[in-house]
């Protein structure tokens, strides 16, 4: 039941408050604007607090990794074996973003290395790239117990690290894999069936949502649509010389 006395909700609220405190402290330290703390007039649209293309200098991926290697900002750290930070080319033009690590990823500390990951690798190779050419990361860096869905409080704590990663990489295109990645990045609660197949603007980066490879394992007939989506990505990445640029 959704009730404010529910201990899970109380715990989530505390996590949100903790994460806000961490964000404020980080922004103060980096001398970033705290304008998101100022109430806006009703009807005035607020800008996101953290943007990959804001004026503050981009941290390097290694700085960001160091900042979160012992992360205890949400309860997921209690059950994890490894933080799954992300892997690939730090200057990739194309970044794939999934939901959260599963058991294999947690074990190895690398994103998309299980069955869904093997299918993602095939998709990447069918696009004419190698895994090392692109960058792969997730919305959450720690595995949710029993692969349950990410909770809003966990996304709230972890997403700023992804935003920093995107700012460091500055890719040309993001491919959001599945409902959670697409809805989290686009801040829209629209089904992936509706979102997929079109480019959106994500802080000046083109973002293409498509189905998650785990969904394709259960619904192989959707591979055709994913192929159409990644072909649109390939067309956008095409250089004038007619070659794909993944880095």
Residues in touch with ligand URA (CB under 6 A): 98-102, 105, 111-112, 114, 116-117, 138, 214
Q: Which is nearer to ligand URA, 19 or 179 (CB)?
A: 179
The contacts of residue 30 (CB under 8 Å, 6+ apart) are 56
Task: Give 174's strand partners.
Answer: 95, 207
- Smallest separation, CB 183 to ligand URA (Å): 13
Q: Which is nearer to ligand URA, 88 or 117 (CB)?
A: 117
What's the Cα-to-Cα distance from 58 to each of 61, 62, 71, rounded to whole Å?
A: 9, 11, 20
Task: Give 210's strand partners.
Answer: 177
Q: Which is nearer to ligand URA, 46 or 115 (CB)?
A: 115
As given in the structure block, the two tokens for residue 152 are: 């809003």
Q: Which is nearer to ligand URA, 101 or 160 (CB)?
A: 101
How far apart, in whole angstroms, are the C-alpha atoms of residue 67 and residue 197?
35
Phi-psi region at 164: left, alpha or beta (left = phi > 0; alpha = psi -120 to 50): alpha
- Smallest separation, CB 97 to ligand URA (Å): 8
Angle at 44 between CA 43 and CA 50, to 5 degrees: 130
Q: Which is nearer to ligand URA, 28 or 115 (CB)?
A: 115
How far apart, in whole angstroms, are the C-alpha atoms of residue 130 and residue 126?
9
68 neighbors 92 (Cβ within 8 angstroms): no
E strands along the chain, which residues?
87-88, 94-98, 135-138, 173-177, 200-202, 205-210
Q: Which is nearer to ligand URA, 52 or 86 (CB)?
A: 86
Q: Which is nearer to ligand URA, 102 or 160 (CB)?
A: 102
Residue nearest to ligand URA (CB): 98
| Three-state DSSP class for residue 15 | helix
- Smallest separation, CB 188 to ligand URA (Å): 19
- Smallest separation, CB 192 to ligand URA (Å): 13
- Smallest separation, CB 141 to ligand URA (Å): 10
- Annotate 147-164 with DSSP letters as a single string: GPPPPHHHHHHHHHHHHH
- Residue 23 φ/ψ, nearest 5 degrees: -60, -45
- Smallest separation, CB 107 to ligand URA (Å): 11
- Smallest separation, CB 41 to ligand URA (Å): 39
């Amino acid at each position: 039941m959704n009730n404010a006395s529910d201990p899970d909700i109380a715990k989530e609220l505390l996590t949100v408050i903790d994460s806000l405190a961490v964000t404020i402290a980080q922004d103060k330290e980096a001398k970033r604007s705290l304008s998101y703390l100022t109430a806006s007039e009703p009807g005035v649209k607020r800008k996101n607090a953290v943007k990959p293309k804001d004026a503050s200098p981009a941290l390097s991926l290694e700085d960001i990794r160091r900042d979160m290697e012992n992360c205890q900002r949400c309860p997921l750290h209690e059950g994890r074996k490894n933080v799954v930070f992300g892997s690939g080319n730090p200057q990739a033009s194309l970044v794939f973003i999934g939901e959260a690590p599963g058991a294999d990823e947690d074990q190895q500390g690398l994103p998309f290395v299980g069955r869904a990951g093997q299918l993602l690798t095939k998709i990447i190779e069918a696009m004419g790239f190698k895994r090392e050419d692109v960058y792969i990361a997730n919305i959450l860096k720690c595995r949710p117990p029993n692969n349950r869905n990410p909770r809003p409080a966990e996304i709230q704590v972890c997403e700023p690290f992804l935003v920093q990663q995107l700012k460091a990489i500055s890719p040309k295109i993001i491919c959001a894999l599945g409902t959670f990645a697409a809805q989290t990045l686009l801040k829209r609660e629209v089904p992936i069936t509706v979102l997929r197949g079109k480019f959106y603007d994500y802080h000046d980066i083109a973002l293409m949502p498509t189905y998650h490879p785990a969904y394709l394992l259960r619904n192989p007939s959707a591979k055709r649509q994913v192929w159409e989506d990644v072909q649109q990505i390939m067309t956008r990445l095409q250089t004038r010389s007619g070659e794909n640029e993944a880095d």
